[in-house]
Structure 1
Amino acid sequence: MLSPCLPQLRLLSCSIILILLFQAGDTKRDLKSACSTCQQITENFNKGYDRTAKQNFGGGNTAWEERKLSKYETSEIRLMEILEDLCDSSSFECNRMVEEHEEQFETWWFKKKTKHPDLHKWFCIDTIKVCCPKGTFGPDCNACIGGSERPCHGNGVCDGDGTRGGNGKCSCDHAYKGEFCLDCIDGYFNEVRNDTFSLCTECDTSCKTCTGATNQDCDECKEGWEEDDQEACVDVNECAKEPSPCKEDQYCLNAEGSYSCNGCDEACTGCTGGGPDECQACAEGYQDVEGTCTDIDECSQSDPACVKENQECVNSKGSFICICSSGYEEKDGECVQQSDEKEESEASETTPGPHREL
């Protein structure tokens, strides 16, 4: 008989595994972060060293002070002034690292600086061991893929490069792929390639994949391109196809590997291009005048456009409107004379009042 607590044990076991996995991921991040912090500390130390190069003890008698207190250049006071400015007050990790290793800074300052002038190498790499030399990674500072001189064969970034973290795998630059960053992505080809060096060059714009730089070197054409009789990839003119890929009130404009649909001019019913001179037929309210669809002025025609009494015609693009003449108003679809009261009211609004001298 199975123990009733077995499922709980399985659940506990899975939880422990997940915690360990998360901790392992955090450890890798912490290792990279520790190196970054140490790098920043040593950079700030060098800036502080330069900043204090021409300073002294600050007293009135510098010669006496240096005779009694030793030279400011190599003094503990100068070291403390530099250490005070290594970290922002809000940077916990930086301040913790400086506090933990203050003795190492003193050792380097008084005993190692002459023989080991590179503080980053002595402190971060060799002493507290949070960083690695460039081109190496991990706890043992192993060489990145491709070698420490040219990580990822110069075509990518090594994970953990220069830190005690990471896995050494390559993140390839654009155009490159593969474990060693020696292969080319689609759209690029190896112009030069051997076991340690690769140069990927972009294919012709018509190629999806290729072996050379021209449109005759395509292995496969991109969408919107097709092989011609010479096995070269050439542009497909989608606008020449029947039926047109565009709507009736649009015209097709071809482009390399593609096309676009654009609206016809309002004067057109169907068109072959933009503008009123590219119409297949003129829209209602327009007429063809020497090959261009032009607005018809209905108001100037021999037959009146507005036939009701006391109406006036106002032309507009492709159309016209009928309005009542001055002094008339529309009522029940007819233009009737305005009432005397309304006329007097409108007149008073436009007539200036009496002018009085002050």
Structure 2
Amino acid sequence: HQSCHSCRGPGINECLTCAVPRFLNNSTCETECPAGSYATRQEADGQQLGFCLPCDHICSSCTGPSPRDCLTCSSGFLQLFQLCVIHCPTGYYKKGSHCEKCDESCELCTGPGPESCRRCPLPLLEVDGTKLCVERCPHRFYQYNEICKQCHISCQTCTDSSPQSCETCDRGSTLKDKVCYPRCEEGRYFSEEEICESCDSSCRHCTGPRPDQCLLCHNDFALHAVENRCARCCQAAANHTNC
């Protein structure tokens, strides 16, 4: 056939070699190589011959000269420049089907910017305030993204850091509406000596003797969500919790 440089018969699909700008693909001379293959050239007897060669299985399309010089990656792989990898390497994070470089201040990260820096490689979790990398958060910690953050002191297990997010309690406390209440009467807490001791006068319920260990406040007082202190509401009609 006229499209062939050499052939084994007269048909269009009986080519043995193709002259550039055509490329041999399944015994046919094509002007472009199909998806999943790349064009390459070889010289023979002073003639440039063209061939379509298959991409590596990790590439859905590739450029050559290596079958692993990927343009796009097969399902299950992530693109890193012209490479297709299963996991992004250290210093890169997954974004869609690509690996993007971390901020210069990060060795490991989960996204762009210095606020996404992390210390533990995925899928391990970083225990906040320690150098530990763990598969699951320990008791008294809850998972927030890829970090284990500490529960409120009153909780044994929890869903966030507030005293109203407990799932289980220590001995000496009772769980009610996601709050761990001491078994002692109002204004007292169950101490390490296993006796009921007085709370600070600002607390209605507490986990210890200090004013920053309040669980619930007296009327007209509001519990600070972070400091666990009871503060007097500014106005009777003010929009404070617990007022």
Normalised by the length of structure 2, the TM-score is: 0.32
More strand by share: 2
More helix by share: 1
Larger Rg over CA atoms: 1
